[in-house]
Amino acid sequence: MTDQVRLRDVEQADLEEFFAQEHDPEAVQRSKFPPRGREAFMTHWTTRVLGDPTVLVQAVTVDGELAGNVVAWWGEGRRRFIGYWLGRQYWGRGIGTQALALFLEREKDRPLHADPFIGNTGSVRLLEKHGFRRTETVRYGEHEHIMLVLDENPT
Closest CA to 19 of 32, 43, 38, 47: 38
DSSP 110: S
Q: How far apart are alpha carbons 113 and 147 in whole angstroms? A: 7
Q: How far apart are alpha carbons 67 and 60 in whole angstroms? A: 5
* Enclosing H/E stretch for 42: helix 38-43
Q: How far apart are alpha carbons 139 and 148 in whole angstroms? A: 14
Reported pTM? 0.93
Q: Left (φ > 0), alpha (ψ -120 to 50) or beta: where does 50 sit?
A: alpha
43-70 pLDDT, tens per residue? 999 999 999 999 999 999 999 999 999 9
pLDDT tens, residue order, the chain (155 aa): 578 999 999 999 999 999 999 999 999 999 999 999 999 999 999 999 999 999 999 999 999 999 999 999 999 889 999 999 999 999 999 999 999 999 999 999 999 999 999 999 999 999 999 999 999 999 988 999 999 999 975 44
Contact 88/24 with Cβ under 8 angstroms? yes
